[in-house]
Amino acid sequence: MIKTSLLILGSLISVITNLDAAQLNLDTQKIAVSGLSSGGYMANQFHIAHSKWVDKVGIIAAGPYYCANNSIKEALEKCVNKSTETTNKHLFHQANNYAQSGDIDPLENIANSKVWLLRGIKDKTIAPEVNQALFTQYQNWLNEAHLKFITDQAFGHHFPTLANGTKCDVSEPPFIGNCNYDAAGEMLSYLYGSLAPRVTETTGKLQQFDQHSLGGDSAQSLAKDGFAYIPKTCQQGEMCNIHVHFHGCQQNLETIGTQYITQNGINNWADNNHLIVIYPQTKNSIFMPLNPQGCWDWWGYTDDKYATKKGQQVMAIKNIVMSFSSKIKIGE
Catalytically active residues, by annotation: 37, 123, 157
Whole-number Å distance between alpha carbons of 133 and 171: 22
Whole-number Å distance between alpha carbons of 127 and 119: 9
Among residues 65, 60, 70, 67, which one has the least CA distance to residue 82? Answer: 67
Instruction: Check the CA dihedral 132-136-138-139 and report its sign.
Output: positive
At how many degrees (to 10) do helices 312-327 and 38-49 cross?
Answer: 80
Contact partners, residue 199, CB within 8 Å, separation at least 6: 268, 271, 272
Whole-number Å distance between alpha carbons of 295 and 181: 25
> In Å, what is the CA distance from 72 to each residue of 62, 82, 131, 252, 298?
15, 14, 18, 21, 9
Among residues 243, 214, 184, which one has the least CA distance to residue 54? Answer: 243
Amino acid occupying residue 171: S
